[in-house]
Structure 1
Amino acid sequence: MASPSSLPARFPTEVYAHRLAAAAQAAAGAGLAGLVITPGYDLRYLVGSRAQTFERLTALVLPADGAPTIVVPRLELAALKESAVTELGVAVRDWVDGDDPYALVADALGGVGRAVAVTDSMPALHLLPLAEVLGVVPVLATDVLRTLRMVKDPAEIDALRKAGAAIDRVHARVPEFLVPGRTEADVAADIAEAIVAEGHSEVAFIIVGSGPHGADPHHECSDRELAAGDVVVVDIGGPYEPGYNSDSTRTYSIGDPDPEVARRYAVLQRAQQAAVAAVRPGVTAEQVDAAARDVLAAEGLAEAFVHRTGHGIGLSVHEEPYIVAGNSLALQEGMAFSVEPGIYFPGQWGARIEDIVIVTADGALSVNNRPHDLVVVPVG
């Protein structure tokens, strides 16, 4: 068993107490009897638990008008030790094989036949028997929890800023890895080591897209060797304790870029700046997307921008809000998301610039502060 000092980091207990109260209030406002949250990001958000989902049910039961209970297999009680459950005073109902854990959930909710919401990550092997015991088909808790998860509290903002600073330190080291003759995989291995060395708990993803591979936004890495003249897209990130993710993209040129590459990149840089400048409370997600897209369109590059402008970030690398056309969600102070327009020319090259920003009363606060220029890596 891990000692307290070796347990994963989490926020102070009062942060989780506030979240539980807010979630219960939101459930009541939605006319629900309560929430049933199985392991996943929602459970981690509410009580700091990193328990995993197995065939035996673990679930936080949060009534709209009562005290929370966690239902957990007795043989997995140790999984609660890294969470805030004990300090929060959450009742623990443990069970052994042969017991009916779904009946324990119903009892903790105050009976059957009442409207209940479940986390969207609940496995069907638990959802179906729970619905049978409750006598109702649960709805998703996404609408109840989405605003809580989207609007970051001060502790989360601090965690995101630390994650952003850590990934900035990695990007500062990337030029030394971009040596002609090395493969994308070689560079990715160095970056992976640097991500952990700079304070992340692990690597979430690494994209090293050189030359024509940079035109694939979701390329990872390959055995392609870097060469002088390559434009290289480097998109990297990972969780920083207590589990909040970094995600930042910079684009590099091995040697001086072709003049047309430099011209198009300068347009992309203006597009990214325009989108960041558009961020403020009350502006919609789609308006931020349009701010980037309009700059590119004015220069004939609309067709080269093939994805949304951004995605929310927190415990998950991709979460709401999504900065995309058609999303009329009004931004609120505390929301955090990427601003990452890109341009892609199949078979040739691509480029992307990405920062994580937090909505403040005055606009956007970027947690990433590396230069946005095309970074020229000297050759020879």
Structure 2
Amino acid sequence: MKHDLAAVQAAIRAEGLAGWLLYDFRGANPIALELLAVPPGALLTRRFFYWIPAAGEPLRLQSSVEAHHFAWLPGRQRLFKGWRELEALLGQTLPQGAPIAMEYSPGGALPTVSYVDGGTLEWLRGLGLAIVSSAELVQRLEAPWSAAALAGHRRAAAALESIRRGAIARLRSALAAGEPLSDHGLQTWMLAEMTAAGLETNGPPIVAFGPDSGNPHHSPDRARPRWLAPEQAVLLDYWGRLAEPGAVYADFTWMAYAGSALPPAIADAWSALREARDAALAFLAERFAAGESPQGREVDALARARLAAAGYGEAFVHRLGHSIGREDHGPGANLDDLETREERRLIEGVAFSIEPGIYTPAWGLRTEVNALHWQGALLVSGELQTTPELLLA
């Protein structure tokens, strides 16, 4: 198992639960596979359950066809051949009426922790089991960073920011010399620099020129590139982690403008964007210093209200930020009251992005830094951009 059993059971008790019922069928529950340290590529063709009570010995319920799996897990093993035996074992083993956590989210509110299918939930509830969401458990065990993770993040962040400065230099040089530079070409260069710096990533950087910057997740197309031209907004979004076991991500966005002065519309939008970002950071710093852990949705709502008051509410089309961990979009609370209703709290040790954006058909703007609730304070990672860089200044 990935975590020490005592730590898992302490987390279960802290959440006031009777236990945690981990379930999977054919790899459908990545949270269970991660927590149980299932080797990649393991042949899992039958459903299984692993019951971790708040105290006492765990129990794994497995098909006789795959009895050889999970020998590394603590606890007893009970085998079943068919659904009747499995149903009897579940009914005999699990406490009825007491809260049992599973990877489920009421109303589908948090898709990132909702992996148990509806039919299985109906079946278990029909046996008298009180199934609740494991979202808080998952965050408590998976999301907090260690000091080593923070140190690795800082190294990755420094490398990424250096690559960003190199990308800006290439943009300036191309404009000054009148040399062609495509979005795909700059993306390819940035990705190669990341590899050379010892970073790995789950996706190439976003490089967006002109109207493509109005697409939050623009993906350059080698066959149909967009070329850098004067008077374009330029959006760079780049993320990576050290190519080392246990490393966590850094994820930033930086803006530039291919001109000598910002157009009034872009300057006004940027001012509103920066104010929303800084208001969110100030709110978090104050709450963390007071020993409080606000819900992710609170931070999103605050920044979104600022942008709405400035007239940009409809142009902010995504959540304020996402959890960051060993994956770029991590297992902890997001800053979100738009796409989902994120009621999990930003507990000690969790990291997340803060990235408000304004998008129009002609251009888009986004500013992104990373933040961490660390030892009762807010740590901010990444340069706080004050204005888009002028590439012809």
TM norm. shorter chain > 0.5:
yes
Say whether residues 1:145 and 2:137 are aligned partners. yes
Q: Deviations over 1:309-337 (max 9, x none)?
A: 22222244154423234656554332322
In structure 1, stretches of 5+ residues that fail to align are 1-12
Partner of 2:277: 272
Work out which of the residue numbers 336, 344, 361 in structure 2 matches 1:324.
336
* Structure 2: distance between partners of 1:15 and 1:290: 34
CA pair 198-270 structure 1, distance change in 2 beyond 3 A = farther
- For residue 165 of structure 1, report the CA deviation from its aligned partner: 3.9
Report if aligned partners of 1:215, 1:349 keep a CA contact under 8 Å in 2: yes
- For residue 92 of structure 1, report the CA deviation from its aligned partner: 8.5
Query: What is the percentage of aligned positions where both structures have the same residue?
Result: 24
Task: After TM superposition, list the pairs within 5 Å mapping 1:162-241 onto structure 2.
Answer: 162-178=155-171, 179=174, 181-204=180-203, 206-222=205-221, 223-240=225-242, 241=245
Work out which of the residue numbers 309, 320, 325 in structure 2 matches 1:309.
320
Work out which of the residue numbers 44, 63, 76 in structure 1 matches 2:53.
63
Say whether residues 1:341 and 2:340 are aligned partners. no
* Structure 2: distance between partners of 1:164 and 1:232: 21
* Structure 2: distance between partners of 1:102 and 1:168: 58
CA pair 153-15 structure 1, distance change in 2 beyond 3 A = farther
SS in 1 for 2:280: helix
Partner of 1:90: 74
Report if aligned partners of 1:353, 1:372 keep a CA contact under 8 Å in 2: no
* Structure 1: distance between partners of 2:309 and 2:121: 55
Report if aligned partners of 1:26, 1:144 keep a CA contact under 8 Å in 2: no
Work out which of the residue numbers 352, 360, 366 in structure 1 matches 2:374.
360
- For residue 276 of structure 1, report the CA deviation from its aligned partner: 1.2
CA pair 128-248 structure 1, distance change in 2 beyond 3 A = same
Letter in 1 for 2:232: D
Partner of 1:5: none
Partner of 1:30: 17
CA pair 361-374 structure 1, distance change in 2 beyond 3 A = same
Report if aligned partners of 1:215, 1:345 keep a CA contact under 8 Å in 2: yes
* Structure 2: distance between partners of 1:26 and 1:157: 25
* Structure 1: distance between partners of 2:381 and 2:13: 31
Letter in 1 for 2:226: R
Partner of 2:296: 285
CA pair 298-202 structure 1, distance change in 2 beyond 3 A = closer
CA pair 332-318 structure 1, distance change in 2 beyond 3 A = closer
Partner of 1:4: none
Report if aligned partners of 1:229, 1:255 keep a CA contact under 8 Å in 2: yes
Q: Deviations over 1:262-288 (max 9, x none)?
A: 343243223212211211333443442
* Structure 2: distance between partners of 1:77 and 1:184: 52
* Structure 1: distance between partners of 2:304 and 2:117: 40
SS in 2 for 1:246: strand
TM-score by length of 1: 0.72
- For residue 344 of structure 1, report the CA deviation from its aligned partner: 1.4
Task: After TM superposition, list the pairs within 5 Å mapping 1:76-155 onto structure 2.
Answer: 90=74, 111=93, 114=96, 116-120=100-104, 122=115, 124=117, 128=120, 131=123, 135=127, 139=131, 141-149=133-141, 152-155=144-147
Report if aligned partners of 1:337, 1:356 keep a CA contact under 8 Å in 2: yes
CA pair 329-71 structure 1, distance change in 2 beyond 3 A = closer
* Structure 2: distance between partners of 1:259 and 1:220: 25
Q: Deviations over 1:125-173 (max 9, x none)?
A: 9x749958x9466835424524415761425545544544443344333
Letter in 2 for 1:322: N
Letter in 1 for 2:227: E
TM-score by length of 2: 0.70
CA pair 69-246 structure 1, distance change in 2 beyond 3 A = farther
SS in 1 for 2:325: coil
- For residue 24 of structure 1, report the CA deviation from its aligned partner: 3.9
Partner of 2:40: 51
CA pair 230-107 structure 1, distance change in 2 beyond 3 A = same
CA pair 173-332 structure 1, distance change in 2 beyond 3 A = same
